Amino acid sequence: MIKGFKDFLLRGNVVDLAVAVVIGAAFTAVVGSFTASFLEPLIGLVGGGGVDGGTVVVDGQRFTWGAFVNAVITFVLTAAVVYLVVVLPMKTLVERRRRGEEAGPVAPTQVELLVEIRDLLRAQQGQRPGGDPSGPGTTALPGRL
């Protein structure tokens, strides 16, 4: 059980995921600071300025549209950076690998392997390989030999 857990932890996907979570958390803090420092004051100015900028009051109910716009801009910025920094390079890398892949060597068929084994056994016995396919102890394979 411990070996399986160790194998799970040391797989590349788990390590990559852990790195992505840490970088994502740090990036979220940067984007949050940017929106709090620059976007919220800008939205407040556009929405009438002051503390209540970006807020509308209707029948005593406060609608904080400025906070919603701020959250949308934060989401779009985060998604754009994740796409440009993570998704696009990975997509390009996968496409390069796919283009570079060639069909591997074709594995020999069972008949080819059996013929090779037969020839090796004959060579060990001092007989000529590829001789009579229906020698002692062998069965001729129709259409193959």
Q: What is the pLDDT of residues 15-71, one digit of tens each?
A: 677 777 888 788 888 888 887 788 778 877 777 765 556 777 888 888 888 888 888
Residues 93 and 127 in one domain: no
**53 close to 45: Cβ distance less than 8 angstroms:** yes
Summarised one tens digit per residue, pLDDT across range 80-98 is 887 888 778 888 877 877 7
| Local structure of 76: helix, strand or coil | helix
CATH code for position 7: 1.10.1200.120
Residues 13 and 53 in one domain: yes
Q: Tell me: pLDDT of 141 over 70.
A: no
Q: How many domains does the chain have?
A: 2
Q: What is the pTM of this model?
A: 0.47
In a domain, 68, yes or no: yes
Residues 52 and 120 in one domain: no
Dihedral angle over CA of 79, 82, 83, 84, nearest 10: 120
The domain of 114 spans 103-131
Residues 53 and 84 in one domain: yes
Token look-up 């716009």 returns 69
Residues 123 and 85 in one domain: no
